[in-house]
Amino acid sequence: MKRTHLMAGTALVAALAAGAVAAESLTIGLASEPTAVDPHYHDVSPNNALTLHIFSALGKLDADQNVHPALAKSWSNEDDKTWVFNLRDDVTFSDGSKFDADDVIFTFCRLMNNETSVAPTGKEVANMASVEAVDPYTLKIVTNEVEPLLPELLSQIMVLSEGVAEHGEITFDLENQCGVTGAWPSVEDFNSGKAAIGTGPFVLKEFTKGSKITLEKNPAYWGDAAEWDAVTFVPVPASGPRLAGLLSGDYDMIENPAARDIVQIEKNDGLEYSSAASNRVIFLQMDIGRDDTPFVETTDGKNPFQDIRVRKAISMAIDRQAIVDRIMDGFAQPAYQFVPDGMFGGMENPEALEYNPEKAKELLAEAGYPDGFKLTFHATNDRYINDSQVAQAVAQFLTRVGIQTDLDAMTRSIFFTRRSGREFSFSMGGWGSSEGGAASFLRQYVTTGNKDLGIGGSNYGDWSDPEFDAVVIEAISTIDEAKRKELLQQASQMAVEKMGFIPLHFESSIWAFRKGLDYPGRKDQYTLAYEITSDAAN
Amino acid sequence: MFTFVTQRLLQSTAVLFAVSVAVFLAVYAVGNPVDLLISPEATQAERAEMIARYGLDRPVWSQYLTFLGNALQGDLGTSFVHGEPALSLILSRVPATFELVVSALLIASVIGIPVGLWVGLNDGSFGSRAVMTGSIMGYSIPSFWKGMVLILVFAVWLNWLPASGRGETVEIFGVPFSFLTVDGLRHMAMPVINLAIPNIALMIRLTAAGASEAARQDYVKFARAKGVSNTRIVRRHILRNILIPIVTVLGVEFGSLIAFSTITETVFAWPGMGKLLITSIYQLDRPVVVAYVMLVTFIFVTVNLLVDFAYAALDPRVKLSERMS
C-alpha cells in the first residue's frame, strides 16, 4: 500500500515536471491586424498568414514560394486541362470528421457562394469546367482555360469541412448549390469559431478583434507537430510600442521592427533578429502610351519616356546600392530584374544595372535632352518600407543628371486611386510576386492590357511590346515546367532590355525575437508560428 | 421644460443631418476604396464587379440617398473591410474607450479639483505657484511622447506594467470590461495615466482660477465676518459657484476624449474607437467613418443636453427655457 502510494506520487511528480517543461507558449506582436478568421474573406497577408495556422490546402508554398504536397499527396496531368489530385487518407478535421474529396468540392462551391467576402472570390473556380470525386481520395479537375499554376493557386485556397453547412450529397453542381441545403457559412461564423474547423497545426481558441488571437495546438494534425502548445497573436500596428513590448518581455517575437531599431536589438544580449529577402520589388513606372504626358515639361513638347535612351539614362542615374545601404540600412537588395534570384522564371545571373551618371547625361544628350527636362514624380509615403525617403533619393539622383524632379508623395489611399485613374507620368510602385514566379509581375504590369485574357491590368503607362506579349501569353499557358521556365526567363530578359519599367530594389523582411528562438523567414513575409523553432530543439 | 427638450431634439436632428452630408461627401471625395480592398492581382473585370457590388459606380447623390434610407431604419452601412455592420462594429469598441475615458476623468476630478481649490485659496504661496507651473507641463507635453516614455519607464526598465494591449475582461450584461480584473487594471494603468495628466492639469488651473476669483467676492468676505467656518465657506459657497464652468469643461472633455483618444489608443494598442477610426480613414472604409462621425455627433449633443440639466441643478437662477442655444 505504502509502496504503491510512493510510486504513484513519484509518477505524478514526474508527469507534472515533464508537463511543465513541455507546455510552451508563444506570444507574437503583429504589425497588421488580421480582419477575419475566414480564409476566403480578404486576400491580404495578415489574414492569409493567420488562416495557414488553422487550415490546410491541397498544396503548400515553402519559404521560396515553391509548391509542395500537403492535403494532396501528389498530382499529375492527364492532358493540359485535366488534373488528377491524390489526397491523403489519414487526415481528420479538428471536430473529428474525416477529410475527403467532398470537403474540397464543398470549399470550391463556397468560394462561389461567398456573400460576406470583401472582394469576389472564386476566380479559380470559375475556370473549372468540372470537378469530380473519382473516389473519396482522388479528385479530378478539368479547367476551361489552360492553367499551369493550378497547384500553386490551390495551395492558397484553404479547405473547409463540409460539416459547417447542412447538405445532402456534395457534387460540383453550382446551379443546385452543390447539394448544400442549409446556409453557407458567413465571416461571422468563422470569427466566432463555429465554422473555424480546419486541418491545420493549430485550433482557434479565441478571436477578439483588435485585441488578440489565441490558438492551441491541434493534437490530430497530419503533419509535423509545431513546437508550441499555445500561440497568442497581438496586433500592435505602431512600431515603437511593438518594439517596447519585445524589450519588456511581453512578446517573444515581433514582426517588422523598424530597420533603425536593429542597432538596439543587436546591442541587447537577450534579443536576436533574422531577415529574409522578400518577393516584393520596388519599381518605377512611366507613362509611355501618351504623346503628351501631364507631369513632364520638355522644350520640344514630346514625351521623353518614349525614347529607350531616356529610360536607360534614368536607370543609370540611380545608385541602387546607396539606397540599399543608406536608406534601407542594408535590409534590401538592388534589383536588376523583377523577381529576386532563385525565384521561378527569373534570370539566373542577371547583369547588374550600372550606376553611371556621366553616361546617363550622355544618353540624355543623344536623345535630344542635353539640358534635361522637368518632371513631377509621384509616390506613396506610407505603404512601402521607407518609401518617401527612397522617392526623395530617386528625385535627387535624377536632378543631378539634369532631370529636374519634383516629388509629390501622398498617402496610399489617394495614390492608388489616382494611379489607377492614369493620372501620373512617373510613379513608384511595389509588387510582391506570390505565385507563378516571374510571371506574376510580368503579366500584371508589363503586358499590353487585355481584358479577355485578364492580363496587363496594372499597365497604367500603356507600355506595349507585342513580341514580349507573345512570349508571356505562351508562357502562362504552358503546362510543361521546364519550357515555362525558359519562356519566362526570356520574357524577364526582354522586359529589362527594353526597360518599360525600372526595377529599384527588393525589400527584406525582418523579424526580431528573444534569444533562444529561431525563424528562418519567408519570401511572402508571413509570420508562421509553426516555423518558429527554439534553439533547445535544434 | 418640455418645450426646451423638444426644441433641442429638433436642433440635434438638423445637426446630425448636416454632419452626415458633409462627412459622406468628404470621404467620397478622398478616393476610391476599391483599389485598397481588392487583391492587387485582380483583373479589370473583377475590379468592375467589385465597384458595382459596393454601388460605387452610382452618382454620389444616389449613394447618399440609399445611405439615408438605410440610416433611418437603423442601418448605418456595412464596413467594407470588416464585413460587419458599421454601427455594431463601433459599438463593440465603445466599452474599451469608455473604460479609459471615465477612469481618466474620474482621476482628473478627484485629484484636480481639491488641488485646484487649495491652489486657488492659497494664491501667491510658493506651493501654489509651483503647482501652477507644473500644470503647464502637464498639458503641453505631447501625448505620443508622454505615452512612449511611460512605456519605456514602467514596462521596459522597471517591468512593473505590460507594454500595451488590453487585459483580461469580465462580462457585465454581455459587455466585456477589463477594470474588474487585476490583469485588466495593470493594462489600463498607463493609458489612463496618459489621458489623465493633461486633464488633471486642466482641472487644477480651472478650479484654481475659479476659486481665487470666488474667494475675493463680497459674499465670502461677509460670511467670514459672520464667523462661518472655513470648511463650510469652501464647500457651500465657493465650490457650488465655480462648479458650472468645471462641469462644462468636463462635458466637453468627455465628448472629445470618447471621440478622439486616438493617439493614446494607438501608442498602447488599446482596442478602442479611436484606433478603429484612424484605421478606417486610412483604408477609406467609408461606412465606418460616416457611422463614427454621426455617433460622435450624437454623443456630443447628448452630453451638451446633460450639461444643461446640470446647470439647472447647480444654479437655481438658471431657467432651462433661457438656455435655448
- E strands, A482-530, are 501-514, 517-518
Q: Is the dihedral of CA B246, B249, B251, B257 positive or negative?
A: negative
- Nearest residue of A to residue B79, measured between CA atoms: A118
Task: Please give the grid coordinates belonging to residue A102.
Answer: 467532398
Q: What is the pLDDT of residue A7?
A: 53
Residue B30 and residue A119: Cβ atoms within 8 Å? no
A19 pLDDT above the threshold of 70: no
**Cβ contact (<8 Å) for A241 and B151?**
yes
State how far residue A247 is from chain B, nearest Cα, in angstroms: 6
- Which region among A72-86, A341-355, B19-33 has the lowest average model confidence (pLDDT)? B19-33
ipTM reported for the complex surpasses 0.90:
no
pLDDT in tens, A225-236: 889 999 999 998
Q: Which pLDDT band, with edges at 50, 70 and 90, does B83 fall under?
A: confident
- Residue A206 sits at the vertex; the CA angle it makes with A202 and A211, to the nearest 5 degrees, is 120
Q: Which of B44, B159, B263 to mutate to test the interface with A (most CBs of A within 10 A)?
A: B44
Contact: A41, B268; criterion CB under 8 Å = no
Which residue has cell 547583369?
A351
Question: pLDDT digit string (tens) for A145-203?
Answer: 888 889 999 999 999 999 999 888 888 988 888 888 889 998 889 998 899 999 999 99
Per-residue pLDDT, averaged over A401-409, amounts to: 95
Biggest distance spanned by C-alpha atoms of chain A: 105
Most confident of A411-420, A505-514, B23-32: A505-514
Question: Which runs of E-coded beta strand occur in A91-147?
Answer: 128-135, 138-143
Q: Is the pLDDT of residue A312 over 90?
A: yes
Cβ separation B159–A248 shorter than 8 A: yes
Nearest-by-Cβ selection for A211 from B156, B165, B282: B165
Percent of chain B with pLDDT over 90: 19
Minimal Cβ distance to A413: which of B36, B84, B276: B36
Q: Which comes out higher in pLDDT, residue B275 or A486?
A: A486
pLDDT confidence of residue A537: 61
DSSP per-residue string spanning B224-244: HHHT--HHHIIIIIIHHHHHH
Mapped to the 3 state alphabet, what secondary structure does A416-431 carry? Answer: HHHHHCCCCCEEEEEE
The per-residue DSSP string of A440-476 comes to HHIIIIISPPBTTTTB-TT-TT----HHHHHHHHHHT
Q: Do B164 and A117 touch (CB under 8 A)?
A: no
Is 50 exceeded by the pLDDT of residue A142?
A: yes
Q: What is the dihedral of CA A323, A329, A330, A331, to 10 degrees?
A: -100
The per-residue pLDDT for B41 is 64
How confident is the model at residue B74, as a pLDDT? 80
Q: What is the pLDDT of residue A60?
A: 93
Q: Are A91 and A161 in contact (CB under 8 A)?
A: no
Nearest to B163 among A41, A250, A417 (CB): A250
- pLDDT at residue A21 tops 50: no
A67-69 and A59-61: which strand pairing?
antiparallel
**C-alpha cell of residue A209:** 478583434
pLDDT over 70 percentage in chain B:
96
Q: Indicate if the pLDDT at residue B325 is higher than 60.
A: no
Residue of A47, A416, A453 to mutate when probing chain B, most B C-beta within 10 A = A416
Q: With residue A409 as reference, give the H or E element that holds it.
A: strand A404-410
End-to-end CA distance of chain A: 43
Strand order across the beta sheet in which A138-143 lies: A72-79, A82-87, A138-143, A128-135
CB neighbour class for A427 (10 Å; exposed up to 12, middle 13-18, buried from 19): buried
Please provide the average confidence, as pLDDT, over all residues in chain B: 85
- Of residues A89 and B240, which shows the higher confidence score? A89
Which of B41, B163, B284 shows the shortest C-beta gap to A241? B163
Q: Point out the residue among A33, A234, A241 whose CB comes nearest to the CB of B267.
A: A241
CA distance A535 to B7: 71
The residue with cell 479538428 is A94
Instruction: Tell me the average pLDDT across A327-348.
Output: 90
Smallest CA–CA distance from B187 into chain A, residue: A250
Q: Which residues of A touch B84 (CB under 8 A)?
A: 187-188
Phi, psi (rounded to 5 degrees) for A26: -130, 135
Distances from the Cα of B27 to the Cα of A26, A35, A532, B60, B75, angstroms: 40, 22, 42, 11, 18
- pLDDT attached to residue A17: 45
The answer on pLDDT for A408 being more than 50 is yes
Res. A422: pLDDT tops 50: yes
If you measure CA to CA, which chain A residue comes closest to B269?
A: A236
pLDDT mean across residues, chain A: 89
Residue A15: band (very low, low, confident or very high) from pLDDT cuts 50, 70, 90:
very low
Alpha-carbon separation of residue B186 from A211, A408, A478, B156, B161 (angstroms): 15, 44, 60, 14, 6
Mean pLDDT within A401-423: 90
Q: Flag if B44 and A451 touch (Cβ within 8 Å).
A: yes
pLDDT at position A8 over 80: no
Mean pLDDT calculated for residue range A51-65: 92
Instruction: Express each pLDDT in B137-154 by its tens digit.
Output: 988 999 889 999 999 999
Q: Contact at 8 Å (CB) between B84 and B78?
A: yes
Question: Quick one: pLDDT at residue A375?
Answer: 95
Question: B164, A245: Cβ pair inside 8 Å?
Answer: yes
The stretch A11-31 carries a mean pLDDT of 65
Which single residue is written with the C-alpha cell 445532402? A168
Q: How far is A355 from chain B (nearest CA, A)?
A: 31
B177-198: pLDDT as tens digits: 888 888 889 999 999 999 999 9
Residue A434: predicted pLDDT: 78
A290 pLDDT exceeds 80? yes
% residues pLDDT > 70 (chain A): 95
The arithmetic mean of pLDDT across residues B240-246, rounded, is 85
Q: DSSP of A131-148, one letter per residue?
A: EEEEETTEEEEEESS--T
**Interface contact A417-B32, CB threshold 8 A:** yes
In the predicted structure, residue B114 carries a pLDDT above the cut 70? yes
Contact A236 B271 (CB under 8 A): no
pLDDT of residue A86: 95
Does B271 contact A208 at a Cβ distance shorter than 8 Å?
yes
How distant, in Å, are the alpha carbons of A322, A510, A512, B162 from that of A330? 9, 11, 16, 32
pLDDT of residue A3: 56
